Amino acid sequence: MTRKYFGTDGVRGRVGEPPLTVDFVLRLASAAARALAPQGGSVLIGKDTRLSGYMFESALEAGFVAAGVDAKLIGPLPTPGIAFMTQHFGCDFGVVISASHNPYDDNGIKFFDRHGGKLSDEDELLIEHELENLPTTRESGALGRASRVDKTRRVYQEFCMSTLSAGVTLKGMKIVIDCAHGAAYKVAPRILADLGAEIVPIGCSPNGRNINEACGAMSPELLQLTVPGVRADVGIALDGDGDRLVMVDHLGRKVDGDQLLYVLALAEQAAGRLRGPVVGTVMTNFALESALRDADIDFLRAQVGDRYVLAKLRETGGTLGGETSGHLLTLQHTTTGDAMVAALQVLGIMRRSGRTLAELTAGLTLLPQTMLNVRVARRFDPLAEPAIVESVTAIESQLAGRGRVVLRASGTEPVIRVMIEAEDREQAKDLAQQLAKIVQHHAEHGVST
């Protein structure tokens, strides 16, 4: 069966437009309660800093309580923090109100199971089936209760700190932390400060509308200027919901998910802790695959989306994987991608080795990539369109095995992602623009759906 509402990362869209309306979110809560806790139970609800989060929090609370499920509201906390705290409280499931790296006028609802993992396709289909029924309101004695548990954030902070090796602190390090005015704006600076670092916070003043705006993992330019400007050792950029990590070395150079995965993999291998293959995605730079192969580390690719990376890791017994965008999975510590935990592992490697981030990444030279987003009226599979496939084949022939073409529909936005990887930066740019124009023309003049 095809999911109607759930994408690669929950239900997401523009606030006020179906399905992101108050009435739908209330129905979604009731459906999830019947599907995941039919005999009653408890749910943890967290969110990022979007203005609409208050509205959807109230709708979820009403739907869950009416269906007989106790609702614990923890307020702004990174998505991985909700996964962790769902387990900590012994809840039947957890819910996050967030659209991750999207602008503030988008929002979304995503779920975790009782173990802090993302829901299976079967559970999501079950919820969608329950959406066909009216919301449940139990009689008074069977209603759930709602409570605020935001003071328990400290538990998550202490967990993050515990993932550093024993005896390792950040004393003497100067770190710039950019929280994208998002969910980590309270906990991330406190974690670093409690570990002894001197911190320079930016992107830590949310107003409900500035999440991800010219800051954070999606726009690290301010961080790149700030780190060398204040002579910091390193910079950390998170996205709006705190599960995506980009770092900046002391020279102001961006370090993406592929480079961070390289640093983590070599360190885990050296420590004898690396299990199974490292897992990336079809978007992962080929240079990482080559570098890991040279280091005798197996590498596999999954579909784009951290849920697919996670599935591949579980299938193969691996513990380390991630995406170029900065979703990094360190399963020896967490059940889902956690930007702060991943950042602490990199900082720990820097402290133990005495090397800068620039030195740790020096052994990996990424192939130039150009990625363009082609906005479309409705999503479609570009590789099901013969004219587009013909163009892709022609470009692959031109690259002659010295580059890659990746063409895919986004699972979270109405865009087609066009990526060209080539040895020459200008060639990658030119070919990506050519292919993007072809996709755009096809989208504007009728597509098969």
Residues serving a catalytic function are 100
Q: Which neighbouring-strand residues pair with 98?
A: none
Classify burial at 386, counting beta carbons within 10 Å of its beta carbon; exposed 0-12, middle 13-18, buried 19 or more.
exposed
Tally Cβ neighbours within 10 Å of residue 397. Answer: 9
- To which residue do tokens 């072809």 refer? 438
Which residues have C-beta within 8 Å of that of residue 223, sequence separation ≥ 6?
176, 178, 202, 215, 235, 237, 248
Alpha-carbon distances, residue 114 vs 17, 74, 96, 130 (angstroms): 30, 16, 14, 20
- Per the CB < 8 A criterion, the answer to whether 61 and 146 are in contact is yes
Q: Which helix (H) or strand (E) holds 261?
A: helix 257-270
Distance CA 410, CA 417 (A): 7
- Per the CB < 8 A criterion, the answer to whether 95 and 110 are in contact is yes
